[in-house]
Amino acid sequence: MIYFDNAATSLPKPQTVYKAVEAAMLTCGNPGRSGHKASLHAGRIVYDCRESIADLFGLPEPERVIFTQNATHALNIAIKSQLHDGGHAVISGYEHNSVARPLQMMKNVTFTVVHTPLFDCDKAFEEIAAAVKPDTKCIISTHVSNVFGFILPLERLDRFCGQKGIKLIIDASQSAGILPIDIKTLPNTSFICMPGHKALYGPQGTGILLCGNTDSITSIMEGGTGSESSNLNQPDMLPDMLESGTLNVCGIAGLLAGVKYVSEKGLRNIYENEESLCQRLVSGLYHIDGLKAFYDKKHHCGPVSIVSTKMPSEELCFLLGEKGFCLRGGLHCSPLAHISAGTQKEGTARISFSVFSTEKEVDSFLEEIRKLQKEA
């Protein structure tokens, strides 16, 4: 198996992640609930992970790191906090359904989708800024498109939000663990949302919500927190306010090992290695008839999408899958991105690498897809 579906979830994980999950399953109790050794041990793991994440993303207060089920869970908290009493939001034309669907389902909320040309940062910024209305409360933008790897201009959007007195919500699902993100440099960003199971190399079922410069925080689930048990109201302190019920301690233990792996490896090394593979891939695809790759060296990170003139993307992925190549075809839960790029009819085949991907795997992929295109 050659695994090129890391934009969905990374595979394999570092060996330290597997070992950390197993150790937690054997030794951890319920954190924050008891004073015995198993509970205290679990609590230390949870806090160590919270602190490591805060360090990686420049968050001065570890308690503002919230553990969630996944990035979708984090985005729902962020969006519903910022717009809990209604209002207008502006979103980029490259947003995942994890952004579009919560907005669509909320009463008294309107939103504007800003479709702009692929890999055009200036146009994206200008059009998003122009879509802001008097009742706009926030801009929501992905950092990196999960379909095309397009890096959007977050720093410019954050500064603009400061000028307009509104907030920015960032979906860092494809950038966390690859591109540097320092929340201290984003003073108008209220939330940054990310999964733990992609480029942070944690287990599935882990997500992170970073609470930045905001007082507008609303829980979407209430229950036991291990604190203020005599009070029937949800605690208003972080992280308890947003972490009801038993945490995924085994997943968090694995996530801690993944975050440590990323920190030791270095974001710059990770990014440069993956982009080198992307350039090798795109260079090879350029010489194959009937294929188009969406790539821009200046504004790209992560996944590369391709389309074939000879077959639909899902058929191409199926045929490659029969040869042992794992990649994803279709709309990738991001129909808005395909509308923006003009690929909504058939979608795209998406290739996404990790630190474990190799040049040999890329070359094998190019050889196989060349054969398929020739035979089609």
Question: For residues 44 and 49, what is the distance between their CA atoms, to the nearest angstrom?
Answer: 8
136-140-141 Cα angle (round to 5): 140
Strand, coil or helix: 250:
helix
DSSP 37-54: HHHHHHHHHHHHHHHHHH
Say which amino acid occupies 246. Answer: T
Tell me the pTM: 0.96
Q: Crossing angle of helices 267-285/359-375, nearest 10°? A: 30
Question: For residues 8 and 371, what is the distance between their CA atoms, to the nearest angstrom?
Answer: 26
Report the candidate in 21, 48, 27 with the shortest Cα–Cα distance to residue 39. 27
User: Six-digit token pair at 65?
Assistant: 């790191």
Helices and strands (DSSP H and E) totals, the chain:
11, 13
Say which amino acid occupies 103. Answer: L
| Sequential pLDDT tens for the chain (376 residues) | 999 999 999 999 999 999 999 999 999 999 999 999 999 999 999 999 999 999 999 999 999 999 999 999 999 999 999 999 999 999 999 999 999 999 999 999 999 999 999 999 999 999 999 999 999 999 999 999 999 999 999 999 999 999 999 999 999 999 999 999 999 999 999 999 999 999 999 999 999 999 998 888 999 999 999 898 989 998 899 999 999 999 999 999 999 999 999 999 999 999 999 999 999 999 999 999 999 999 999 999 999 999 999 999 999 999 999 999 999 999 999 999 999 999 999 899 999 999 999 999 999 999 999 999 999 8
**Measured CA distances, 133 to 95, 114, 158 (Å):** 20, 13, 16
Report the candidate in 128, 109, 258, 114 with the shortest Cα–Cα distance to residue 194. 258
Report the candidate in 206, 235, 165 with the shortest Cα–Cα distance to residue 67. 206
Map out the domains of the chain with their CATH numbers. Answer: 2-10+266-375 (3.90.1150.10), 15-265 (3.40.640.10)
